[in-house]
Each structure stands twice: as C-alpha cells, then as structure tokens.
Structure 1
Amino acid sequence: MINVIGLGYIGLPTALMFAANGIKTVGTDYNYGLVNTLQKKQLPFEEDGLNIIFSDALSQNNITFSTEYAIEDIYIVAVPTPYDKKTKKVDAKYIINAVRTILKVCPQNAIIVIESTVSPGTIDQHVRPLIHNANKDNIHLVHAPERIIPGNMLAELQNNPRTIGADDPVIGERIKTLYTSFCKGKITVTDIRTAEMSKVVENSFRDINIAFANELAKICHESGLDVYEIIKIANMHPRVNILSPGPGVGGHCISVDPWFLVGDYPGLANIILAARKINDSMPEYVLERISEIMKKHNISTVEKIGLYGLTYKENVNDTRESPTLQLLEKMKKHLAFGIKVYDPYIKDSIVENQYLDLDNFLNDIDLVVIMTAHDELKNNLNKFKNKIILDTRNCCCLKNTYKL
C-alpha cells in the first residue's frame, strides 16, 4: 500500500490512478471538508475522465481517504510549493510539515517520494536534515516531479515521460516499477538534484518561449503588424516553434517555478528573470489596450467593460495565478472599479461584479475582453457579434475584434 499526502490538483488524480490500477492507496489531506467530500464519493473539482477512475478505484476497494497519515512502506508527497515573493525562493513549508508527520508514523526503510516541484537542492536543504534529526537515516528519499496540466491530467499521467530521482538506483527502480502501473511514457531514473533541476528547467523554457511571443505582440502592435500572422509564418521554419502570446501566464507551474531559479541564482538567471518580468507585465499591457479601445469607441466608464474568463486556461475551473485576477489587482491600484467578470467554470462568486449567467453579463457591457478561450465562448460567438471585443487569446474573428 501507499499513502498519498495532499489531495489537490496533482495528488488526487495521482492517488486515484494508482488505485484504479490495482495499488492499495490511502489519500491523506489536512482539509476535513475535502476528505469528507471524497468519503461521500464526490469529487472536489472537475476534470475530464476523473469520475471514471474515481469509480474504478472505489469499485476495486483500493482507495480510502483520511486526515490521518497511514503506516505504509511508500509515501508520495504532493503538496503545494509556493514561492516567497520577496526572495523568489521556494517556500518548502508544506513539504517540511508533511515529511515531519510522515517520520512520526513511517516504518523502518520506508520510501518518501516528493512529487511537488521544488528548486534544485531543496531536498538536500530542507528534507534530508529532517530525516537525520529524527534518527531515521534508513529512510529512502526519491523525487518524482509531476508533469501534468489541468484539463488533460489523466492522458498526461498515463502518457508523459517521467523522471525518478533517487539516492539509491535500486530504490529508484522500485519506484519506477510502481509508476509503470499506470504510466506508459518513458521513465528515466537519475539522481535527486538532476530530477529537481529538470522539472524547473522544463517550465522555465516554456515561460521564456511565451515571453518571446508576448514581447513580439507588443512590438507588432507598435509597428501595426499582425503578430499571429508573423508567428504562423516563422513557425513554418522546421526549427522554429514560437508559442502564442496571451494576457499573462497563470497556473501553479509556469508562473511559479522559474522564480525558484531566479531566487537561487541571482545574477545568473538573467533570461529567466526577463521572461518572468515580461509575462508578469501582460495584465498591465491588456489594461493599456482596453484604455486605447475605450477612447476609440468613446466608452467613458469601466462599468461597460467585461472580462470573459477567470480561470488561467480554457475549460478548467483552476484560477491559480490567473491573469484575470492579476489584471483585477492592477485595476485596484489604478483605482478603477466596476469592471464586470464572468466565467462558466466558476460557479460561486469569488470577485466583485462577477456574473454567473452569460446573457446577463453580455447585456450589461459594451466591450468584452476575452481572457480565457473556453469552449462555451467558441460555441456561442453569435452572442458576441454586437460587442466590441478585445481578444487576448486569438480565438475570435468577429467584426469589431481587436487583438493584443
């Protein structure tokens, strides 16, 4: 049996995937409400196919949920790893707390697998001393960073390559065998620090690519050029793959992990820092574009402006580091209040002036800013045809549509 610690966007699908594929699993989370929901056989968030593996895991009696840590041979830690906004370094407090509790209950020769994304050296600096101080030097450490994204979690859990970092190659191979219960992708066994660095490098690369696209968008707007056409043509080159610009970078990976390298290697992570600054500037740039369009169409108040989309990506209910939330914070600094917001995936009001019905939202605005390209929008473009549109996701070609 295994004990998965942390039942959020990463931990819960991982626990259910193990259980649905024949591994006895205990899912643990300190959140009593979350555990109670799962014990009632209800899922706390939407994800395509998650209900199917939830049902499979329950039907096989391979999954239980608890607020208590179990006594098992293998622990998989999938807790949040935010960053300190002042130092830009990883905040490892959730991992530290989880490992401390594991050490109180785990048997001799247990294996602790850290799935949470961390900066290189975090396990050496924060986790290994806990084991030494607890006089449990026979505990084995492994780092198996997750590689999934909301909206396509199950497919990526099954098909994405994985990296297993371990002190002992034999232990690494044992954990590799565990993950092959559901993972069809190539699994590479390496050392812990290499595994830590590889995950952060992956997300930093994507952040830099997005920043390049966003900088191109600003340059092309200044020059009166179509950035999307230019990227399309450039990408015809066999060795060029520019991503699309957007209103900012959200989620708990690309918008967070690069900061780990900036914080740990100041003066060296210069391109990474520049990319972070560019991507963090995009909500402010969207505000500038809104102001330009308002002046052009004689719109005098932000109360006639609506933001479509609160989530950081399409067709999910995940608002972590959402560009829309970042934009709303920018507006508060400008003392600009009254802008309206709508998202079909957010069922409860989480911000001011949030609408829960698309038609009511559209009836009260003149200018709609597309922040997230949900399928609902694409399937109902006819409802937007009489609106002025700022399309930050390049998903709309109606009349009176402006791009970044």
Structure 2
Amino acid sequence: MINIIGLGYIGLPTALILAANGVSVTGTDYDRELVDTLNSGMTTFEEDGLDKLFIKANENGVLFTTEYISTDIYIVAVPTPYDKASKKIDANYVISAVNRILEVCFDGAIIVIESTISPGTIDKHVRPLIQAFGLETGKDIHLVHAPERIIPGNMIHELKFNSRTIGADTKSIGERVKQIYSSFCDAEIIITDIRTAEMTKVVENTFRDINIAFANELTKICRTDKMDVYEIIRIANMHPRVNILQPGPGVGGHCISVDPWFLVGDYPDLTNLILAARKINDSMPKHVLGRIRDIMREHNIKDISKVGLYGLTYKEDVEDTRESPTLQLLENMAEHLAYGIKVFDPMVKSRVVDHQFMNFEDFLNEIEVLVIMVSHTHIKENMDLIEGKLILDTKNICSFNKSYKL
C-alpha cells in the first residue's frame, strides 16, 4: 500500500494513475471538504483525462482520507512555497507531513518527496526529523526525492511519457522506487543521489525562466525602437541552435515563478543571472500596465473601468491561477491606475477578484480596451466578438489593425 500525502495538482493525478495501474493506493489530505468530494465520486479540478483516470482508479479501489495510514511507502506531494523576504524555501508543509508519517510508518519505510525542493532541503530539514525520532536513515527510514515533472493542461500525458529522476541514498532503494513509477511511466527513469535530484528539478525550471526573461527583455528593447519582437524571434529561431521562447505578460504557476528563487535564496552571491531574470519576468505585469496607460492616453480614455483583462489563470486552458500575471498586475494596479478594472476568464468558475464577470458578452459590453493576458482556446474561437475593441494582445494571437502588442 502506498500512502500519497497531499491531493492537489500533483498528488491527486499521481494517486489516480498509480491506482489505475493496479497499485494499492490511499490518498491523504488535511482538507476534509476535498476528501469528501473525492469520496463522493467527483474530482476537485479540471484536467484533460483526469475524470476517466478517476473512474478506473475507483474501480481498482483507491481510498481517500484525512488520516495518515501505517504502511511502508509514502509519496509526499505537498506545497513548497518560498519566503518572499528571504527567497528561501518554506519547508513547513514537508516537515509537517514527514513528522506525521514518522508517527505511524512501518520500520524500514520509504519516504519519497515529490514536492519540488531547493538543493539540500532533505539534508537540512528532513534528516534531522528522523534523528529526532531516534531513527536512522538508511536503516529505519529510507529517504528519496523523485520530483514531479508535469504541467497543468497535459498532466496525464506527461505522467506517462516524461522521464523521471529518482534521488536515493542507495541504488537498491532507488530501484525499489523505480519499480513503483515504472507501473505507469513509459519514459526513462534515472537513478541518482538526492542532492543531484533536488538540483536538477530546480535547474530545469530556472533555465526556462531565464529564456523567457531574455524574450521579455527583447520585447522592451524592441518597443523602445519600434521593432517587431515577434518577427525578430521568428527569424532568429530559424538558426538551428537558437530557440528563443515567446515573450508574455509575466511568468506564473507554481514552478517557473517559484523554483529559481530557491537558488537565489540559498546562493545569493552566485545567482546574478538568475536574479536578473526573475526581476525581468516579475516586471512584466507593470510593463503591461504601462502599455494600458499608453493606449488610454492615445484614445483619450480616462475611465479605467472601460478596461478589461481577459484571463486569470497562469497559462492557457487550465483553471490554475497560482502566481498568475493577471493577479500580479491587479496587485500592482493601485500604484499606477485607478480602481475598477474588469476581469473575465472562461476557465475560472468562481469569483476570485473584484469586478470579475462570469459571462463573456456581458464583459465585452462594459469595456472599450481588451487586454488579452491568456491565450485560451475560448478567445481564439471568439475573435469575431472582439474585433471592434481596442486590443492589447500580450500573447500575439490576433492580427486586427486596432490591436497593440507588448
């Protein structure tokens, strides 16, 4: 029996895909409402293929509870935010989960940390917990880091086909955990040491953050001298060794916008490039505000309530709003603009901000300036409805004469 700790965006799909492939699984989460929802036969967020997987997992007897169970294998998939002041990881969720596990686990249990953590987190925060219980790692308890590598919107596919990294103190324990992940993962599974596994995951997301920052800095340079950044990137990418990503209104989600800070927090004197990239990407919501102000001045629009932001999620076609550029923009709005900007997102079914509309046409009827923050399929399929608006297109998806770019 495997006990999955944390049933959010990572833990739930992992629990379901293991159970669907014949592994005995109990999922644990502190949120009673979430557990009750799962036990009533409903999933807790929308994801392509998740409901189908849920049905198969239920057929195989997956269980959901608020309790930690006594077993010999645990997979921890709890949040790992960072402290915005120190830029260091906040390991409290991981610490709490491991402490609860140590109270009930069998002798010789394996604890797999799937949550993304900064290099050295297991040495600094987890091993001392085991020692405090009078236990010995490598004998009484075995520690493993197997970082998740999936993204909302394509989770089920990526669980099956993305390669995995397993960091373990010994190869034999690594091989045991590899067998578990091999039950559903068709890609290569690499066994290494724990510190390397910790570092590798953070480096992957940091690389992407730096690439996006380069594109965003190019955007600002090209804006200054009235050049088309998208055409420049398109031509540059024709070179076989160049792959510049697309600029955008900022970086969101719980990976790319968070993981680089772990390195900045732990290695402040050695992360000049990483810090610069973070600052560039974090500056983009303010850049969007500046572009909104420019458009309002050009068209003599004085009322901010005539501006609407399309998109609340951090990326297209998902419902995940964590660290989204739109929310970052709204947090900074008071520094630049008056109160009353309108918001709509077809993927977000509950109200999360002021002046949020739940109907697209009602939203459009109230605004003159439309700011496309997220390139949902929904708006691509409804271009005819927005053609008469002044459009700030931060995602480069429309070609109307009245549209403005970043």
**TM-score band, normalised by shorter chain:** over 0.9
Instruction: Give yes or no for the alignment of 1:101 onto 2:100.
Output: yes
Q: Which residue of 2 aligns with 1:84?
A: 83
How far is 1:335 from its partner? 5.5
Say if 2:304 and 2:337, in contact at 8 Å, map to a contact too.
Answer: no
Q: Which residue of 2 aligns with 1:284?
A: 286
Any idea what the Cα deviations from partners look like across 1:134-170, whole Å, max 9, x if unmatched? 1221100000000000000001100001000000110
How far is 1:267 from its partner? 1.2
How far is 1:186 from its partner? 0.7
Any idea what the Cα deviations from partners look like across 1:169-221, whole Å, max 9, x if unmatched? 10001101110000011110000000000000000000000000000000001
> Which whole-Å CA distance do the structure 2 matches of 1:25 and 1:92 have between them?
25
> Which whole-Å CA distance do the structure 2 matches of 1:383 and 1:320 have between them?
28
Aligned pairs (5 A) from 1:9-48: 9-48=9-48
> Which whole-Å CA distance do the structure 1 matches of 2:98 and 2:312 have between them?
34
For residue 96 of structure 1, what is the amino acid of its counterpart? I
Question: Secondary structure of 1:165's match?
Answer: strand
Question: Secondary structure of 1:87's match?
Answer: coil
> Which whole-Å CA distance do the structure 2 matches of 1:205 and 1:383 have between them?
38
> Which whole-Å CA distance do the structure 1 matches of 2:158 and 2:339 have between them?
40
Q: Which residue of 1 aligns with 2:383?
A: 381
Say if 2:368 and 2:389, in contact at 8 Å, map to a contact too.
Answer: yes
How far is 1:333 from its partner? 3.1
Q: Which residue of 2 aligns with 1:241?
A: 243
Q: Which residue of 1 aligns with 2:134?
A: 135
> Which whole-Å CA distance do the structure 1 matches of 2:82 and 2:328 have between them?
16
> Which whole-Å CA distance do the structure 2 matches of 1:165 and 1:348 have between them?
39
> Which whole-Å CA distance do the structure 2 matches of 1:399 and 1:342 have between them?
23
Say if 1:385 and 1:399, in contact at 8 Å, map to a contact too.
Answer: no
Q: Which residue of 2 aligns with 1:355?
A: 357
How far is 1:100 from its partner? 0.1
How far is 1:387 from its partner? 0.3
For residue 219 of structure 1, what is the amino acid of its counterpart? I
> Which whole-Å CA distance do the structure 2 matches of 1:335 and 1:84 have between them?
28
> Which whole-Å CA distance do the structure 1 matches of 2:37 and 2:401 have between them?
46
Aligned pairs (5 A) from 1:274-353: 274-334=276-336, 336-353=338-355
Question: Secondary structure of 1:213's match?
Answer: helix
Say if 1:108 and 1:136, in contact at 8 Å, map to a contact too.
Answer: no
* Identical aligned residues as a percent: 66
> Which whole-Å CA distance do the structure 2 matches of 1:336 and 1:149 have between them?
35
Q: Which residue of 2 aligns with 1:180?
A: 182
For residue 389 of structure 2, what is the amino acid of its counterpart? K
How far is 1:72 from its partner? 1.1
Q: Which residue of 2 aligns with 1:366?
A: 368
Question: TM-score normalised to the size of structure 1?
Answer: 0.99
> Which whole-Å CA distance do the structure 2 matches of 1:2 and 1:15 have between them?
9
Question: TM-score normalised to the size of structure 2?
Answer: 0.99
> Which whole-Å CA distance do the structure 1 matches of 2:69 and 2:117 have between them?
24
> Which whole-Å CA distance do the structure 2 matches of 1:45 and 1:192 have between them?
31
Any idea what the Cα deviations from partners look like across 1:261-288, whole Å, max 9, x if unmatched? 0000011011000000000000000000
Q: Which residue of 2 aligns with 1:205?
A: 207
How far is 1:301 from its partner? 1.2
For residue 272 of structure 1, what is the amino acid of its counterpart? I
Any idea what the Cα deviations from partners look like across 1:377-403, whole Å, max 9, x if unmatched? 000000001000000011111220011
Match for 1:155 among 150, 154, 157? 157
For residue 114 of structure 1, what is the amino acid of its counterpart? I
Question: Secondary structure of 1:70's match?
Answer: coil
Question: Secondary structure of 1:118's match?
Answer: coil
How far is 1:75 from its partner? 0.2
Question: Secondary structure of 1:338's match?
Answer: coil
> Which whole-Å CA distance do the structure 1 matches of 2:289 and 2:183 have between them?
48
Instruction: Give yes or no for the alignment of 1:261 onto 2:263.
Output: yes
Question: Secondary structure of 1:316's match?
Answer: coil
Residue correspondences, number: 403
Say if 1:215 and 1:278, in contact at 8 Å, map to a contact too.
Answer: yes
Q: Which residue of 1 aligns with 2:4?
A: 4
Q: Which residue of 2 aligns with 1:112?
A: 111
> Which whole-Å CA distance do the structure 1 matches of 2:23 and 2:60 have between them?
10
> Which whole-Å CA distance do the structure 1 matches of 2:350 and 2:64 have between them?
26
Any idea what the Cα deviations from partners look like across 1:288-314, whole Å, max 9, x if unmatched? 001111111111111100000000000
What root-mean-square deviation, in Å, do the aligned CA atoms of Structure 1 and Structure 2 show?
0.6
Question: Secondary structure of 2:52's match?
Answer: helix
Instruction: Give yes or no for the alignment of 1:123 onto 2:125.
Output: no
Q: Which residue of 2 aligns with 1:398?
A: 400
Any idea what the Cα deviations from partners look like across 1:350-390, whole Å, max 9, x if unmatched? 10100000000000000000000000100000000100000
> Which whole-Å CA distance do the structure 1 matches of 2:338 and 2:43 have between them?
37
> Which whole-Å CA distance do the structure 2 matches of 1:348 and 1:91 have between them?
28
Any idea what the Cα deviations from partners look like across 1:40-83, whole Å, max 9, x if unmatched? 0111100000001100001122x100000011110000000000
Query: Could you list the runs of 5+ residues in structure 1 that have no partner in the other structure?
Result: none
> Which whole-Å CA distance do the structure 2 matches of 1:267 and 1:110 have between them?
38
Say if 2:389 and 2:402, in contact at 8 Å, map to a contact too.
Answer: yes
Question: Secondary structure of 1:318's match?
Answer: coil
